Structure 1
Amino acid sequence: MAQVTVTIDGKAYRMACEEGQEDHLMDLATRFDRYVSHLKSQFGEIGDLRITVMSGIMVMDEMAEMSRKVSLLEAEVANLKSARDGALEHRQQADQALVSTLGELTGRLDALAGKLAGRTTVN
């Protein structure tokens, strides 16, 4: 396991993470520190624990909003796929009807050509 030291609210915390995840963990800590700094600038010194809890709640609120948006986008993608599949099925049915109609028309033309050929030989 790799270890990194992150700084949140001016305090250093040594943390373990998987190899190769060090930069990601540092980025997450930096982003979280921004929440803490933002709240401290709004509320002043109201206690480390309270600021940390408030920051955590803000992060969870953003996650909930992102999850809601992802769910809406997934539903939209499912609707688009369903509409596409319906359009493809409709197109296949139309193609089958066209093939059937062309088959009937070909049969009629063959019959008509046969009748015309029979009349020409009689003359």
Structure 2
Amino acid sequence: MPTVDFTIGHKDYTLSCQEGEERLLKRAAGLLDAEARAILDQAGRMPEPRLLLLAGLMLADRTSALEDRAGSAERELARLKANPQKVEVPVIPAGIGEALAELAARAEALADKAEESLDI
């Protein structure tokens, strides 16, 4: 069984985990360590159990906020799926393309005439 070494606050830990879970354990420990270090930066040294409790509560608070946001996003998605909004996209009629091509040809003919009159 693999073991993972990590630090939380100022204390080193070693835990065993299932094969393939090392990365997940390191990530979780890193999140807990970041909270613990933020607490230590503000409050200074404190007993390990209190530090771990406060860091765990901070992570639980953040997780709760993220769960609320995810639930809100899921409800909004369900609402949009149940009542999709229609979006109208303007379509250029085929005759407009032909009219624009005719105008372009006339403009080129006028430009040619203007060039010829300047060459005289």
Unaligned runs of 5+ in 1: 88-123
1:101-123 CA-to-partner distances (Å, cap 9, x unmatched) read xxxxxxxxxxxxxxxxxxxxxxx
Q: 1:13-52, aligned counterparts within 5 Å? A: 13-52=13-52
Describe the shift of the 1:10–1:46 C-alpha distance in structure 2 as closer, same or farther (beyond 3 A).
closer
Distance 1:72 1:19 in 2: 36
The residue aligned with 1:110 is none
What TM-score comes out, normalization by structure 2 length? Answer: 0.64
Q: Partner of 1:61: helix, strand, or coil?
A: helix
- After superposing on structure 2, the runs of 4+ consecutive aligned residues of structure 1 that deviate more than 4 Å are none
Cα distance in 2 for residues equivalent to 1:48 and 1:19 = 28
> How far did residue 40 of structure 1 move?
0.6
What residue identity is the alignment partner of 2:25?
A: L
Q: Which is further off, 42-51 or 61-70?
A: 42-51
TM-score (norm 1): 0.63
Q: In structure 1, what is the Cα distance between the partners aligned to 2:42 and 2:12?
A: 23
Conserved? CA contact 2:9–2:40, under 8 Å: no
Larger CA deviation: 12-21 vs 59-68: 12-21
Q: CA deviation digits over 1:45-69, x for unaligned, max 9?
A: 2322111111111000000000000
Counting aligned pairs with the same residue, the percent is 28
Structure 2 CA distance for aligned equivalents of residues 38 and 63 of structure 1: 17
CA RMSD of aligned residues (A): 1.7
- What corresponds to 2:100 in structure 1? none
List runs of 5+ in structure 2 lacking aligned partners: 87-120
